[in-house]
Amino acid sequence: MNTNPTGSIRIALDAMGGDRAPKIVVQGAGIAQIRYPKAEFTFYGNEAEIAPLVAKQKNLRGRVAIVHTPDRISADDKPAIALRSGRNSSMRLAINAVSEGKADAVVSAGNTGALMGMAKFVLKTLPDIDRPAIIAFFPTMKGEAVMLDLGANIECTPENLVDFAVMGAIFANTVLGVHQPRIGLLNVGAEETKGREDVRIAAQELRALELPGEFIGYVEGDDITKGTVDVIVTDGFTGNVALKTAEGTAKMYTEFLKRTFKSSWLAQMGYIFARSAFQKLRKRIDPRTYNGALFVGLRGVCVKSHGGTDGIGFANAIGVAYDLVQYKFNDQISSRVHVMHEKIQALPSEIKTAQPEAVA
């Protein structure tokens, strides 16, 4: 991580990524500038579009830099195309700024696949990390939890899952402030003998290692929202399906709730009485609060904001990036993961191979 001598935290912003860019990016920076006075922003994108927006934000005027980039990556561009022909895009140049030491972190609300591909290609993975992962946080009945991998890796080895557990625990510690995060491995049952081989070996290894948190064993899909653990570890296929299933279920409930309040004259009256309470609920489960997925395991902080977010949501994504730089997230990962890998090497071989299913 490149920290610079002045103590400021320099954040490169892909001003052209997201459904309503560059407007929400500039608005988000404006909000974040108030929250984090030490942040220094550089916008990458079309100067003619960005400059007038910056001029309107009193607290940004004269404080931020704009690097003009002629190209932008669109939401529909395939990652491979974006990587090859997007060398002068706002996304690419903002990522380059991190690899060149001009910025400490990059935030983009653009195309996820392109951002992942470019960030991996430009920033490279941290030493000892084989696969980067996507991590994000979301509401539970008890507070908040983080889950990874949400889609970067379709298949994972047990060692990838161990790395994810370590990175996830440090993330929960850094972003959620949980001192000793509880870590769970997503599976289809709580018994030791259940599940796919990769998951069972990972569990054996996690039980044998000293982690930056407490490994409590397997968790199931309903434990995610129960708040059983602070960190949920899984492969990118399962994680992506679980995340989207939860989002879909939440949308269905919100839709049913709306229909219910509109279904009769009495129900409409009821809503008028309960409105203020529901506004608080809406705030509690506001997706903007949970905005900011991170590509963990890269040499540099790269935060992905939801494409459809607004200024407040984008400011929250900037906040995630800011925290990770401030608390030297990547340095913590490097030191922990290196030790962990040495310990895995030293583990007895029966821990690193799947045990036959116990005959009860």
Shortest distance in whole angstroms from residue 94 CB to its own copies? 23
Residue 241 or 351: the one with the smaller Cβ distance to its own copies is 241
Give the interface with its own copies as residue ranges (CB under 8 A): 78-81, 139-141, 151, 154-155, 186, 188, 191, 195-196, 220-226, 234, 236-238, 240-253, 255-257, 259-261, 263-264, 266-267, 269-278, 280-281, 284-285, 359-360
Shortest distance in whole angstroms from residue 271 CB to its own copies? 6
The CA radius of gyration of the chain, in Å to the nearest whole number, is 21
195 dihedral zone (left: phi>0; alpha: psi -120 to 50; beta): left
Residue 4 or 263: the one with the smaller Cβ distance to its own copies is 263
The sign of the torsion formed by the CA atoms of 253, 255, 261, 265 equals negative
Residue 100 or 155: the one with the smaller Cβ distance to its own copies is 155
Residues 6+ apart with CB under 8 A from 43: 13, 15, 22, 25, 26, 29, 50, 54, 64, 65, 66, 67
Backbone angles phi, psi at 328, to 5 degrees: 50, 50
Shortest distance in whole angstroms from residue 90 CB to its own copies? 21
Shortest distance in whole angstroms from residue 81 CB to its own copies? 5
Residue 271 or 290: the one with the smaller Cβ distance to its own copies is 271
Shortest distance in whole angstroms from residue 145 CB to its own copies? 11
Tally the residues of the chain: 360
One DSSP character per residue, 37-96 reads: TTEEEEEEE-HHHHHHHHHH-TTTTTT-EEEE-SB---TT--HHHHHHH-TTBHHHHHHH
Joined together, the tokens standing for residue 42 give 């550089």
Residue 11 or 146: the one with the smaller Cβ distance to its own copies is 146
Residue 10 or 131: the one with the smaller Cβ distance to its own copies is 131
Give helix 112-123 / helix 90-99 axis angle, nearest 10°.
30
Residue 55 or 188: the one with the smaller Cβ distance to its own copies is 188
Closest to 229 measured CA to CA, from 177, 164, 172, 182:
182
Residues 6+ apart with CB under 8 A from 248: none
Shortest distance in whole angstroms from residue 322 CB to its own copies? 29
Shortest distance in whole angstroms from residue 68 CB to its own copies? 28
Joined together, the tokens standing for residue 112 give 């996820």
Shortest distance in whole angstroms from residue 61 CB to its own copies? 40
Tokens 């370590």 found at: 166
Residue 51 or 354: the one with the smaller Cβ distance to its own copies is 354
